[in-house]
Amino acid sequence: MSYDISALRKFVSPEIVFGAGSRKAVANFASNFGARHVFLVSDPGVEKAGWVTEIMDILVTAGLRVTVFTGVSANPKVDEVMAGAELYKSSQCDVVVAIGGGSPMDCAKGIGIVSAHGRNILEFEGVDTITSPSPPMILIPTTAGTSADVSQFAIISDPNRRFKFSIISKAVVPDVSLIDPEVTETMDPYLTACTGVDAMVHAIEAYVSTGSGPLTDTNALEAIRLINRHLEPLVLNTANVQLREQIMLASMQAGLAFSNAILGAVHAMSHSLGGYLDLPHGLCNALLLEHVVAYNYTSAEDRFRRVAEAMDIDTRGMSKPVIKQRLMGRIITLKQAVGLEAKLGKLGVTTSDIPYLSGFALQDPCILTNPRKSSRRDVEVVYEEAL
């Protein structure tokens, strides 16, 4: 019996505990993994907000030793991963816990990889390069957008190449994700906007990806609906607990979608931008989104119609060009409403940077599942339009 292997779809996910207070279960899960000495990864901002101390106290009260590592920058770098792995080894830790946004969580994943293999993190760039299991890993996201806590991606910045590289493997899916909307209450409106639009990009790219399927579609569309309806009011009122919970749920669903369907040109181009100019990932995604939608539209018209409907656009009786116009208009309106109106040029990108950026974007694994095949000139034109 013959079958088409390209039509098969997988779905990987950590164990997920969702809801207010879920972070407080961290010691129970660490103990279940046989932890004696926990390696707690975070960054200075999350530490200042008080979350590192709280998690450390919960672990210590449960009788566990804790070593804290907060040497993580906004885009986690190779040397930070290696420094963390060395501290993990010298401290004789046995379980990794990370609390923070995408940067601490990606760094924690890198630390786990290096500690398991004893090799440089640069050697694991690409897809399915990991051969030994990482230590047990528990992630607690403090932002509603990156979804590193549910994904099979780790994104690390290599300053020598000025390039963000991807490690994609089910081996970097954490064992447990404790998704607690309460810890996002310390996010300011700008970070709320950046990470919220980042989650929207995850959902849209996952839905139109060539790797999409029934296991990811429902998550992607529901994430789009939730963000479209709740992000604007949340940015205006960041203290609203119910809105935070809805956006956190959307982020989780978008993460489950893109982790399994993979992404597209927005992320390939954003990874290149972020690595080259050390720019915030969510902001890069936001500034590129409508330009990539315009580029991809004719290659996935039916899928983009359903994206438009998920964004509360009534497409009945509309021609395909009108749907495209309305969808792009809604994306732009949403971005403006949450304060993300900048252009790449204002962030320091110049026309002379574009050939370099495009070359790295085409090397990114996310470009492989973009609905429209892309040449170097195609990518250059999209960058130019986003300037």
pLDDT of residue 342: 80
pLDDT of residue 9: 86
Q: What does pTM read for this prediction?
A: 0.94
Contacts of 249 (CB under 8 A, 6+ apart): 18, 226
DSSP per-residue codes, 261-293: H---HHHHHHHHHHHHH---HHHHHHHHHHHHH
pLDDT of residue 2: 64
- What is the mean pLDDT of each successive set of 10 residues along the chain, which is 387 residues long? 75 96 98 97 96 98 98 94 98 98 96 97 95 97 91 94 90 97 92 94 98 96 98 95 96 96 96 84 91 97 98 97 97 95 87 94 94 95 94
φ and ψ at residue 157, rounded to 5 degrees: -95, 130
pLDDT of residue 229: 98
Contacts of 333 (CB under 8 A, 6+ apart): none
pLDDT of residue 89: 97
Structural domains of the chain, with CATH: 11-184 (3.40.50.1970), 187-386 (1.20.1090.10)
pLDDT of residue 161: 87
pLDDT of residue 1: 56
Q: Give 158's strand partners.
A: 163
